[in-house]
């Protein structure tokens, strides 16, 4: 994606990442644009895929998800059909918050939000032990959430 972003776009994106509920009129005041100009820019940024979606950040503990677990997964075969099947299984699992196909010692890195170790154990059976293409996996249990977010820096 090669979208040309000017200083106004970057300021708007920074403000939206801070609070996506900010009214367009307020955004305009903060970045020195009219409400109509803000509206046009936000529509363009959405249409071009710069803004992927708007969402709320929910505290996992508030919904009973007490554990954050990071998992490194190594596969047996890198055949594209088998990799795609594995990706689909990870995408379909609601407890997988993030999934990355990576280069290096492992093939995937997953971040889970789980209620407890029993739930994670069940997920390991479903996603890893019952999958013939998973060679091994390594589990890292987060002791605390130091920094969590998906904000993209808007300044160099």
- Can you give the pLDDT at residue 108? 98
Q: Taking a C-beta distance cutoff of 8 angstroms, is the pair 22, 15 a contact?
A: yes
H/E run at residue 26: helix 24-31
Query: Quick one: 78 and 117 in the same domain?
Result: yes
pLDDT of amino acid 3: 76
Domain that holds residue 28: 7-47
Residue 37 sits in a domain whose CATH number is: 1.10.10
Instruction: Find out whether 68 and 146 touch, Cβ atoms under 8 Å.
Output: no
Whether 65 is covered by a domain: the verdict is yes
Judgement on whether residues 99 and 124 belong to the same structural domain of the protein: yes
Report whether 37 contacts 28 (CB < 8 A): yes
Q: Specify whether 131 is located in the same domain as 88.
A: yes
Give SS3 for 18: helix
69 domain-assigned: yes
CATH code of the domain covering residue 132: 3.30.70.920
Q: What is the pLDDT along the chain (156 residues), one digit of tens a residue?
A: 567 999 999 999 999 999 999 999 999 999 999 999 999 999 999 999 999 999 999 999 999 999 999 999 999 999 999 999 999 999 999 999 999 999 999 999 999 999 999 999 999 999 999 999 999 999 999 999 999 999 999 987
Whole-prediction pTM: 0.88
**Structure tokens of 90?**
């990870």
What confidence score (pLDDT) does residue 156 get? 72
Counting the structural domains of the chain, the total is: 2
Residues in CB range of 99: below 8 A, 6 or more apart: 87, 90, 91, 108, 109, 110, 111
Same domain, 27 and 77: no
Same structural domain, 85 and 125: yes
């Amino acid at each position: 994606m090669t979208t040309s972003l000017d200083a106004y776009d970057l300021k708007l994106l920074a403000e939206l990442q801070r609070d996506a509920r900010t009214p367009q009129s307020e955004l305009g005041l903060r970045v020195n644009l009219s409400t109509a100009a803000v509206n046009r820019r936000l529509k363009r940024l959405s249409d071009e895929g710069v803004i992927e979606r708007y969402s709320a950040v929910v505290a996992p503990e508030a919904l009973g998800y007490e554990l954050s677990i990071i998992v490194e997964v190594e596969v047996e075969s890198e055949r594209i059909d088998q990799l795609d099947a594995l990706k689909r299984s990870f995408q379909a699992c609601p407890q997988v918050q993030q999934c990355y196909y990576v280069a290096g010692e492992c093939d995937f890195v997953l971040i889970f939000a789980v209620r407890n170790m029993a739930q994670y154990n069940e997920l390991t059976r479903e996603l890893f032990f019952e999958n013939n293409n998973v060679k091994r996996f390594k589990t890292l249990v987060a002791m605390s959430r130091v920094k969590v977010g998906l904000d993209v820096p808007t300044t160099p």
